[in-house]
Structure 1
Amino acid sequence: MAATNAGTSVESASADEAAAKTAQKRYEGLLMVRNKAIKGKGAWYWTHLEPLLVHNTETGLPKAVKLRCSLCDAAFSASNPSRTASEHLKRGTCPNFNSAAKPISSIFPVVVPSSSPSSASPFSVQHNHRKRTTTSPSASGSGSGSLYHAPSRFGSGLVPQQPHLVLSGGKEDLGALAMLEDSVKKLKSPKTSPGPALSKAQIDSAIEFLSDWVYESCGSVSFASLEHPKFRAFLSQVGLPAVFPQELTGARLEARFEEAKVESEARIRDAMFFQIASDGWKWNENVNENGKSYDSGLVNLSVNLPNGTSLYRRALFVTASAPSKYAEEVLWETITGICGNLVQQCAGIVADRFKAKALKNLENQNHWMVNLTCQYQGFNSLVKDFAKELPLFRAVVHNCLKLANLFNYTSQVRNSFHKYQLQEYGHTWLLRVPLHEFELGPVYAMMEDTLSSVRALQLVLLDEPFKMVAIEDQGAREVGDMIRDVGFWKDLEAVHGLVKLVKDMAQEIEAERPLVGQCLPLWDDLRAKVKDWCSKFHIAEGVVEKLVERRFKKNYHPAWAAAYILDPLYLVRDTSGKYLPPFKYLTPEQEKDVDKLITRLVARDEAHIALMELMKWRTEGLDPVYAQAVQMKERDPVTGKMRIVNPQSSRLVWETYLTEFKSLGKVAVRLIFLHATSCGFKCNWSLWRWVCARGHHSRTALNKVQKLIFIAAHSKLERRDFSSDQEKDAELFTLANESSKVSTAFVKSGKVLRFQALLH
């Protein structure tokens, strides 16, 4: 054993000596190159870069060679001096290096006696074989013409104006000339003392805010951008050290993740029960870097608490072939991972579109759970129903496709179209065309483009190029007749209005995130708006109403009716002044659903007690003062809409005031807080998809991305910020003319504000 250790020590010593010789040789070589350069026989940057020999603190032997910037004392690897010079000096990373070209007027005038031409400055020497022109003050005006002008006076006598300064190296020499002048100034005047440096505590705090901003941006801010020369220059300018990506993706990321995780789990433990929200069970066609397509779904799992807050749990990468049973297992594992064997803490699940069999199975196996499908997805699915089964919808889409293909892809017609677009609207565009007729987003965009181009489309028909095309093309004649037909525009406006009606309601659902008690009023509101739409455009109500009712039944859950009855927010004042539950707005089937759901959610021996309490609630209701307090509203200063002052009042009334309803109260507090949508936070998923595309080869990277998403989601949900950075950017550019809104959007993140304040 001793012999082995001795042998290892000898080998280590010989390796250190070899490395030391290599470093020493490299150091001496760089010194030789620098000495030659200083004498004018080498690259310019060696005047600012000095080789340093770094020694091993234990052995005292040389171990590495560094380059030190003599202007700012920063140290760099000596492997590529030219690249170091380009990135540190030329690109402005060094705060004390100024390579900007200065006007030649800063060098002139040079006092030259007119009787002694031989004593002229060497900078004024010109190559006689070059063609030159001179610009007199009278010809050039106040600075027009050439970039630099020599002065017209030397000393006290008038002399002819100097010609343009021409250097042997061309325009690139101007930067070198400015550097020479800089060097002269620095030698003549001592360095100015720097301002007060930031303390270590200030630096640590600033970097903490910076790292939080990068984490919470979740891919929108690239880690690699921390190495951008201009960002490095910014950090140096404000007195902060360089921050490397490795610092933010290592221990600091782990610590920040643990902090967010501990806080999240503590909040869940404090709550008596929770709801699981799951979105992303939908598939998108993607292409990886090898050009191979694959189907992927990103499933987000979060936790809704009774106090109205939401907490992120995890993200899951799922393939399109995943069966309903797999979704069921994922949801159940999430529940048990949160509360272990105390699964009664999970009041239910809300999930977006996938096979509803998983939700139904879990609900049947656990009588205390209420598992709902997402209302946002339900409204979006209704638009698809219209697209597939409404004859008017299909006819309008077909006609718009014919029109768009003609005006986009027939050159004579397109040129004429652009001419009139420019005349009428000030800019040109192509009509957006979907890949197929059931791509609702692109289809809706095509309708909008067509409606917004109506004047230009009509003018094209009067243009000679269109008439020539129509003579030879039957399709062009049909499109022309269609544009002239008032019926086409009426039908297009009707279909566009129907889609907009449902899409606007879906967007409001996504923004408001209504609770389960709001579901029945939402669908009643939709029915009323659809009826008004039919009346406005003189369309028979039967087919449209049939599609609405079918989608309602697919999405309906008995919990909608029960929550509507038990939530004090929807109590109605009767003629006697009592505030009673709105049973009169339920159908007989929905009334039965209320009884069935309540008896399912309580223990068997409490079922009859719960029904008796329900009857008492139906006849007595809530004290008018408490009912009015729950239903009190105020105007939102941002949107202008009336909002409930305290959304938590509905649940708190059952827990603190309606204590005589012991069994029914247990159902009410668990039921009325449930969310009816699974819409989670939005972020830039590009980094996640990039890692997932590489599969098992990037498990470490996948783990880091998971933690990054958790940190970002935790922060966004804490701020109740469900929008994406892309949406914010679009809003920013839309409101670019309002400077106050621009500045507010630009520094919206609290981390950026605190980071900015710290630097000041």
Structure 2
Amino acid sequence: MAATTNTTTTPVDSVSADELTAKSVHKRFCGEFAYSPGAVTAGGGSLVPQHQQHLVLSGGKEDLGALAMLEDSVKKLKSPKTSPGPTLSKSQIECAVDILADWVYECCGSVSFSGLDHPKFRAFLNQVGLPPVSRRELAGSRLDVKYEEVKAESEARIRDAMFFQVASDGWKVKSFASGDDSLGINSLIKDFSKELPLFKSVTNNALKLANFINNTTQIRICFQKYQLQEFGSTGLLRVPLRDHESLSFGPVYTMIEDILNSARVLQLVLLDETFKMVSMEDPVAREVAEMIGDMGFWNDLEAAHALVKSIKEMAQEIEAERPLVGQCLPLWDDLRAKVKDWCSKYHIAEDPVEKVIERRFKKNYHPAWAAAYILDPLYLIRDASGKYLPPFKYLTLEQEKDVDKLITRLVSREEAHIALMELMKWRTEGLDPVYARAVQMRERDPVTGKMRIANPQSSRLVWETYLTEFKSLGKVAVRLIFLHATSCGFKCSWSLLRWIGAHGHSRVAMDRAQKLIFIAAHSKLERRDFSSDEEKDAELFALANGEDDVLNDVLVETSSV
């Protein structure tokens, strides 16, 4: 017999929101577990069907999943319209997509357009409240709009500038003598390798030694045994290709470096019984043994390596700092001084070396080098009377004539004689000592530790504000002294180059690639960042490996204590 209970009707208005939520949860909870509130009898017996008994709460660990479902249901009922990510306004979304598009364009191929369709990237966009980004739009209409915007900005700058400089060498493959070589510094390495007897003898001797070590089985095994003992690893001496003479000196330099690094190992090989047995029958082995034991061979090897290393470092510094035209003559003077010290240290005859340097200098020299050097207040020299005068005494007669010719070319015919008269006045009077010292004031760079000009713009400001009496010469000075001596090398990523290679036949694809390169190059000029993403990644991983090596060294030292 069913028990009867008296029920009291409660008005709907008096029911609280919490009670409604609780009732809804109760229904949802019972529905998900497929049993009713009366399914459990007073005696504790279960009326739940056999196939659903595993859903009944036990009071143990099995409750966790069910409780999680219950909590989820409550959250959905309390806030059914909550989105997974933040809600952004239309203007915020448009601004964010613009920034994302700029990043893709400025990476210039490092970021794939197809990568925008990656599920994880789409999930990220959804998480931050952004809609999916169409790769077709980014590579199409949006790219066109960005290109026109950047192009208009560049054209406006050219119109507003007093002068501008364009330098381009086209597509160039990265080689041993990498970077721009407008000053001819890198070319000196190839000149020395072809014209100096020292480099020829060092190359031939190094090739003979390396080939003998690598190609003679018994000696190679012996060499690698001592390598393992000294360095903990083994490897062959790197040898250039047969036609190395037609290529850059890079592969030969690498071989020389390997031999110098293996000097201790080679000495041990020479003392080994295996080498003594081979040398009894092989005349090349005896020749190599004589070479390894000759201090003259090692002196020549070290001399060639030191000179190339010094020139390479100077060229890399020039590429990084992008010197102005006025710095070219001082840079070549620094190079001559370094080479002279090198000749003295390694007892090398100076005359043949100086001839090679002068020949290369004449090939690369430009009259603008001399004119900018004379007109830039940065290079004024204090004489005995205290005046700061232009450094004409460091120019040759031909270079002085070049200064006159170039200045008259850069002004109108009517102004030519006025400009020359002003040049004579500049030569005899120079600049006020206070202003000269202000222009030449230097401070230490906190990053590199080198002394730098405190205010690089001061040379131009002096001509525009203080030296106003030199009307014709001042216009020439402002144009010349801020010209860069090197071209700006924009380095495309390998991914973009591969893409161009694959789609080079398509006019539309090439048009898009050119627009991407233009936008990326413009961005790099804005940021004055001339490095490539590949180089930055290489530095990052090299640093990470270095940190690992240091950590490993510490662990080894600790474990050995």
**TM-score after normalising by structure 1:** 0.58
Q: Which residue of 1 aligns with 2:293?
A: 484
Structure 1 SS opposite 2:168: strand
Q: Which residue of 2 aligns with 1:213?
A: 103
Q: Which residue of 2 aligns with 1:321?
A: none
The answer to whether the Cα contact below 8 Å between 1:236 and 1:242 also exists between their aligned partners in 2 is yes
Q: Which residue of 1 aligns with 2:31?
A: none
Pairing partner for 1:698 from 493, 500, 506: 506
The answer to whether the Cα contact below 8 Å between 1:688 and 1:705 also exists between their aligned partners in 2 is no
Following superposition, the deviation at residue 284 of structure 1 comes to: 8.6
Moved more, 227-236 or 616-625: 227-236
The answer to whether the Cα contact below 8 Å between 2:85 and 2:129 also exists between their aligned partners in 1 is no
Q: Whole-Å Cα distance in 2 between the matches of residues 269 and 713 of structure 1?
A: 19
Corresponding letter in the other structure for 1:253 = L
The answer to whether the Cα contact below 8 Å between 2:116 and 2:135 also exists between their aligned partners in 1 is yes
Structure 2 SS opposite 1:444: helix
Matches within 5 A, 1:408-487: 408-435=214-241, 436-437=244-245, 438-487=247-296
User: Which structure has greater strand proportion?
Assistant: 1
Pairing partner for 2:386 from 555, 577, 587: 577
The answer to whether the Cα contact below 8 Å between 1:567 and 1:668 also exists between their aligned partners in 2 is yes
Q: Whole-Å Cα distance in 1 between the matches of residues 512 and 489 of structure 2?
A: 21
Q: Whole-Å Cα distance in 2 between the matches of residues 507 and 629 of structure 1?
A: 29
Q: Whole-Å Cα distance in 2 between the matches of residues 486 and 263 of structure 1?
A: 63
Question: Deviation per CA, 1:401-460, whole angstroms, max 9, x where unpaired?
Answer: 223333334444333333322322233333332221343222222222221222222223
Q: Which residue of 2 aligns with 1:190?
A: 72
Following superposition, the deviation at residue 672 of structure 1 comes to: 1.3
The answer to whether the Cα contact below 8 Å between 2:85 and 2:126 also exists between their aligned partners in 1 is no
Question: Deviation per CA, 1:625-656, whole angstroms, max 9, x where unpaired?
Answer: 21112112111111111111221221221122
Corresponding letter in the other structure for 2:251 = P
Residue 418 (structure 2) pairs with residue 529 (structure 1): no
Matches within 5 A, 1:122-521: 190=72, 197-200=86-89, 201-280=91-170, 374-375=182-183, 378-435=184-241, 436-437=244-245, 438-521=247-330
Task: Identify if the C-alpha distance between structure 1 residues 391 and 738 changes in structure 2 by more than 3 Å, giving closer, same or farther.
Answer: closer
The answer to whether the Cα contact below 8 Å between 2:86 and 2:127 also exists between their aligned partners in 1 is no
Q: Which residue of 1 aligns with 2:22?
A: none
The answer to whether the Cα contact below 8 Å between 1:198 and 1:239 also exists between their aligned partners in 2 is yes
The answer to whether the Cα contact below 8 Å between 1:688 and 1:702 also exists between their aligned partners in 2 is no
Pairing partner for 2:456 from 627, 647, 654: 647
Task: Identify if the C-alpha distance between structure 1 residues 581 and 546 changes in structure 2 by more than 3 Å, giving closer, same or farther.
Answer: same
The answer to whether the Cα contact below 8 Å between 1:682 and 1:724 also exists between their aligned partners in 2 is yes
Q: Which residue of 1 aligns with 2:27?
A: none
The answer to whether the Cα contact below 8 Å between 2:85 and 2:128 also exists between their aligned partners in 1 is no
Residue 468 (structure 2) pairs with residue 662 (structure 1): no
The answer to whether the Cα contact below 8 Å between 2:503 and 2:510 also exists between their aligned partners in 1 is no
Structure 1 SS opposite 2:167: strand
Corresponding letter in the other structure for 2:299 = K
Q: Which residue of 1 aligns with 2:542?
A: 734
Q: Whole-Å Cα distance in 2 between the matches of residues 210 and 689 of structure 1?
A: 23
Q: Whole-Å Cα distance in 1 between the matches of residues 472 and 124 of structure 2?
A: 63
Q: Which residue of 2 aligns with 1:31?
A: none
Task: Identify if the C-alpha distance between structure 1 residues 202 and 283 changes in structure 2 by more than 3 Å, giving closer, same or farther.
Answer: closer
Q: Which residue of 1 aligns with 2:371?
A: 562
Following superposition, the deviation at residue 563 of structure 1 comes to: 1.2
Corresponding letter in the other structure for 1:190 = D
The answer to whether the Cα contact below 8 Å between 2:88 and 2:129 also exists between their aligned partners in 1 is no
Q: Whole-Å Cα distance in 1 between the matches of residues 131 and 235 of structure 2?
A: 47
Task: Identify if the C-alpha distance between structure 1 residues 465 and 694 changes in structure 2 by more than 3 Å, giving closer, same or farther.
Answer: farther
Residue 362 (structure 2) pairs with residue 553 (structure 1): yes
Question: Deviation per CA, 1:288-346, whole angstroms, max 9, x where unpaired?
Answer: xxxxxxxxxxxxxxxxxxxxxxxxxxxxxxxxxxxxxxxxxxxxxxxxxxxxxxxxxxx
Q: Which residue of 2 aligns with 1:610?
A: 419
Q: Whole-Å Cα distance in 2 between the matches of residues 251 and 184 of structure 1?
A: 51
Task: Identify if the C-alpha distance between structure 1 residues 693 and 204 changes in structure 2 by more than 3 Å, giving closer, same or farther.
Answer: closer
Following superposition, the deviation at residue 244 of structure 1 comes to: 4.7
Task: Identify if the C-alpha distance between structure 1 residues 203 and 606 changes in structure 2 by more than 3 Å, giving closer, same or farther.
Answer: closer
Q: Whole-Å Cα distance in 2 between the matches of residues 529 and 712 of structure 1?
A: 38
Corresponding letter in the other structure for 1:528 = A
Higher relative contact order (CA 8 A, sep 6+): 2
In structure 2, the gaps of 5 or more residues are: 1-49, 77-82, 548-561
The answer to whether the Cα contact below 8 Å between 1:580 and 1:619 also exists between their aligned partners in 2 is yes
Question: Deviation per CA, 1:107-137, whole angstroms, max 9, x where unpaired?
Answer: xxxxxxxxxxxx9xxx9xxxxxxxxxxxxxx
The answer to whether the Cα contact below 8 Å between 1:681 and 1:721 also exists between their aligned partners in 2 is no
Structure 2 SS opposite 1:429: coil
Corresponding letter in the other structure for 2:511 = N
Structure 2 SS opposite 1:379: coil
Q: Which residue of 2 aligns with 1:672?
A: 481
Structure 2 SS opposite 1:605: helix
Corresponding letter in the other structure for 2:425 = K
Following superposition, the deviation at residue 622 of structure 1 comes to: 0.8
Structure 2 SS opposite 1:634: strand
Corresponding letter in the other structure for 1:508 = E
Task: Identify if the C-alpha distance between structure 1 residues 454 and 599 changes in structure 2 by more than 3 Å, giving closer, same or farther.
Answer: same
Following superposition, the deviation at residue 523 of structure 1 comes to: 0.8
Q: Whole-Å Cα distance in 1 between the matches of residues 276 and 503 of structure 2?
A: 55
Residue 517 (structure 2) pairs with residue 720 (structure 1): no
Moved more, 402-411 or 483-492: 402-411
Corresponding letter in the other structure for 2:538 = A
Question: Deviation per CA, 1:660-681, whole angstroms, max 9, x where unpaired?
Answer: 1122222212221111111323
Q: Whole-Å Cα distance in 1 between the matches of residues 534 and 392 of structure 2?
A: 44
Moved more, 662-671 or 509-518: 662-671
Q: Whole-Å Cα distance in 2 between the matches of residues 526 and 181 of structure 1?
A: 81
Q: Which residue of 1 aligns with 2:442?
A: 633
Residue 351 (structure 2) pairs with residue 542 (structure 1): yes
Q: Whole-Å Cα distance in 1 between the matches of residues 213 and 94 of structure 2?
A: 60
Q: Whole-Å Cα distance in 2 between the matches of residues 469 and 230 of structure 1?
A: 63
Q: Whole-Å Cα distance in 2 between the matches of residues 460 and 238 of structure 1?
A: 64
Following superposition, the deviation at residue 731 of structure 1 comes to: 1.7
Corresponding letter in the other structure for 1:659 = T
Q: Whole-Å Cα distance in 2 between the matches of residues 738 and 567 of structure 1?
A: 43
Q: Whole-Å Cα distance in 2 between the matches of residues 456 and 729 of structure 1?
A: 34
Q: Whole-Å Cα distance in 1 between the matches of residues 128 and 319 of structure 2?
A: 41
Following superposition, the deviation at residue 188 of structure 1 comes to: 5.9
Following superposition, the deviation at residue 383 of structure 1 comes to: 0.9
Q: Whole-Å Cα distance in 2 between the matches of residues 577 and 284 of structure 1?
A: 49
Structure 2 SS opposite 1:461: helix
Structure 2 SS opposite 1:514: coil
Q: Whole-Å Cα distance in 1 between the matches of residues 519 and 290 of structure 2?
A: 58
Q: Whole-Å Cα distance in 1 between the matches of residues 216 and 121 of structure 2?
A: 48
The answer to whether the Cα contact below 8 Å between 2:343 and 2:350 also exists between their aligned partners in 1 is yes
Structure 2 SS opposite 1:735: helix
Following superposition, the deviation at residue 690 of structure 1 comes to: 4.2
Task: Identify if the C-alpha distance between structure 1 residues 216 and 469 changes in structure 2 by more than 3 Å, giving closer, same or farther.
Answer: farther
In structure 1, the gaps of 5 or more residues are: 1-118, 124-154, 156-179, 286-350, 354-373, 740-760
User: Which structure has greater helix proportion?
Assistant: 2
Q: Which residue of 2 aligns with 1:586?
A: 395
Q: Whole-Å Cα distance in 1 between the matches of residues 316 and 171 of structure 2?
A: 19
Structure 1 SS opposite 2:506: helix
Structure 2 SS opposite 1:643: strand
Q: Whole-Å Cα distance in 2 between the matches of residues 236 and 606 of structure 1?
A: 66
Following superposition, the deviation at residue 468 of structure 1 comes to: 4.9
Q: Whole-Å Cα distance in 2 between the matches of residues 687 and 737 of structure 1?
A: 28
Structure 1 SS opposite 2:487: coil
The answer to whether the Cα contact below 8 Å between 1:280 and 1:352 also exists between their aligned partners in 2 is no
Corresponding letter in the other structure for 1:388 = K
